[in-house]
Amino acid sequence: ISPPNLVEKSSHAVGSLAGSVVLPCHFSKLMFSTSTPHTWTDDEQLRIKWTKLEAEGEKVVLVSQAGVVKIGSAFLNRVVVKKRPLSDGDASLTMLGLRASDAGLYRCEVMLGMEDAQDTVRLNVTGVVFHYRSNVSRYSMDFLEAVAACQQAGANIATPEQLTAAFEDGLDQCDAGWLLDQTVRYPITRPRPGCAGDLLSRPGVRTYGTRPLTEKYDVYCFVDKLHGEVFYPPSIGEKLTLQQAREECEKHDSVLASPGHLFAAWRAGLNRCDYGWLSDGSVRYPITVPKPQCGGGLLGVRTLYKYENLTGFPEPSERHGAFCFKALKTCQSTAASFHKIEM
Ligand SMILES: *[C@@H]1O[C@H](CO)[C@@H](O)[C@H](O)[C@H]1NC(C)=O
Ligand SMILES: *[C@@H]1O[C@H](CO)[C@@H](O)[C@H](O)[C@H]1NC(C)=O
Ligand SMILES: *[C@@H]1O[C@H](CO)[C@@H](O)[C@H](O)[C@H]1NC(C)=O
């Protein structure tokens, strides 16, 4: 049997949380034509199998043959292949409602009779949903203030689909927050007294439905991938006030990171066990490597509140570290610097 002969080799796909993506798998018709003659209209014998390759083992995503499609439980209602893949030479998988946990390595196998070809595709999923509370108090923002708060935090107000995807990835937050469609909801993966909402003891996203825009809640924000770098300045010895933190970032040709920057950096793997100032005057740190002495062994971005009831930001005179953000140089500025050099 000739070696696997797929058109695209080790491809890469990137999708955004709650969005859709195509995992490419194009097989060459020639691959099957040499040893065994086939009629190309005959999709019946063609078998397509998509598998997710995980450290714990392989997980079947989808198997399709002769119009019969079987889908793995984690992917129900979220994956589809073409009805007539053979005529197009296309066994690509379309995946909807992306979750962060969908990221990883996938294998596409195409089988026709005794012949078999396979390829792998790596999928990345960008974007993160985070709960945002104003510096004033819990439940202090009407809808327009909530929209503005997410923008000030370097993000956008989240959609219900994004919150649902975040819930599927394990987000648990017992605080009602505005969403883009003017509903108020919160995600609970570990049901407990006080967080029952309309789902009682079942896990799920609780909803208050559409609310009058003047009612006040927290908000859920969404930030996609980071266009730059977040860092904790290595030179910080003594801790800094908010103003000093701003100046420290300027020394590094950067600015204080927004909460959106920090959450996006956390999602991309930033791990730092030191509280640092952010541009909105909040103080937080990102944990991606669980350690008992760091955030109690939990993963996520920790926020330092002023009061025990988890409200209020620290006083600007308090001393902490800093998270700085340096934007990626755009093409335009590269062109500009070329121009300078030529002169
Ligand atoms: C995908 O994620 C991996 C691991 O997080 C990273 O190294 C790689 O650069 C990412 N690729 C793309 C195209 O975003
Ligand atoms: C909250 O932040 C706003 C603007 O960012 C500021 O004007 C206001 O004084 C802050 N309120 C408190 C209680 O810190
Ligand atoms: C939280 O605690 C502070 C200080 O004790 C108090 O002023 C504030 O009203 C409390 N907020 C809520 C929402 O309970």
Q: Find the radius of gyration of the CA atoms of the chain.
A: 24
What is the per-residue pLDDT across 81-97, written as a single tens digit (0 to 9) for each?
A: 987 777 778 899 999 99
Sign of the four-CA dihedral 120, 45, 85, 28: positive
**Ligand 1 contact, 83 CB (< 6 A):** no
Give the rounded percent of residues in the chain with a pLDDT score beyond 90.
74
* Both structure tokens of 273: 């066990």
C-beta of 136 in contact with ligand 2 (< 6 A) = yes
Q: Can you tell me the mean pLDDT for 221-229? A: 95
pLDDT at 215 over 50: yes
Give the least confident one: 117-121, 163-167, 220-224, 264-268: 117-121
DSSP 83-107: SSHHHHTB--EEE-S--GGG-EEEE
The pLDDT assigned to 89 comes to: 84
How confident is the model at residue 33, as a pLDDT? 54
The residue whose two tokens read 């970032």 is: 249
Please give the domain boundaries of the chain with CATH numbers for all domains.
Answer: 11-31+42-126 (2.60.40.10), 128-223 (3.10.100.10), 228-327 (3.10.100.10)
**Once rounded to an integer, what is the mean pLDDT over residues 219-243?**
93
Quick check: 337 pLDDT over 50?
no
Going 195 to 201 to 206 to 208, the CA torsion angle's sign is negative
Q: Which atom of ligand 1 is nearest to the CA of 268?
A: 5
Please give the Cα distance from 13 to 20 (Å, whole number): 11
Q: What pLDDT, on the 0 to 100 scale, is given for residue 30?
A: 53
Write the pLDDT tens digit of every residue in 155-206: 999 999 999 999 999 999 999 999 999 999 999 999 999 998 898 899 999 9
Residue 137 beta carbon below 6 angstroms from any ligand 2 atom: no
**What mean pLDDT do residues 235-253 have?**
93
Measured CA to CA, the distance from residue 277 to residue 254 in angstroms comes to 14
